[in-house]
Amino acid sequence: MYTLLTLMLMTMTLSIIMMFTCSMISKTSKKDREKMSPFECGFDPKSSARLPFSIQFFLIAVLFLIFDIEIAIMLPIMLTMKWTMNSTWMMTVIMFIMTLILGLYHEWNNGVLEWAK
């Protein structure tokens, strides 16, 4: 018990010392407007450094993640079929799939899946 406590204390102390040392070493000189501005070969930039982000792409990516996680959840459901009652198992699977289908319908109904307008 004391060994574990000592090890944790040493780890925390070493981490704090390293963070303090890094913060002291990485101190930059004066932050003025010229040094903080974007730089293109010594000339002023011709366009903004920030590019517009497509919210449509973001929504499609989130939808992909939802259905990707669905597959990760569906695999253990198939394995538990052996150990549960068929009626309970079927009801759980049907409710899970219906929730996903309703979510997909909602996304489709709101026009998220239409890429070009």
**Residues 47-68: pLDDT tens digits?**
666 667 777 777 778 888 887 8
The domain tally of the chain equals 1
User: What is the pTM (predicted TM-score) of this model?
Assistant: 0.45
Question: Is 9 inside any structural domain?
Answer: no
Question: Is 97 inside any structural domain?
Answer: yes
Q: How far apart are the first and last CA of the chain?
A: 64
- The mean of the pLDDT values for the chain is 78
Question: Is 116 inside any structural domain?
Answer: no
What residues make up the domain containing 106?
A: 85-110
How far apart (Å, rounded) are the C-alpha atoms in residues 106 and 100? 10
Question: Is 66 inside any structural domain?
Answer: no
Q: Given this model, what pLDDT does residue 84 score?
A: 77
Question: Is 20 inside any structural domain?
Answer: no
Q: Given this model, what pLDDT does residue 39 score?
A: 61
Q: What are the pLDDT digits (tens) for 73-93?
A: 877 877 777 777 878 888 888
Burial class (CB in 10 A: 0-12, 13-18, 19+), 104: middle
Question: Is 52 inside any structural domain?
Answer: no
Question: Is 91 inside any structural domain?
Answer: yes
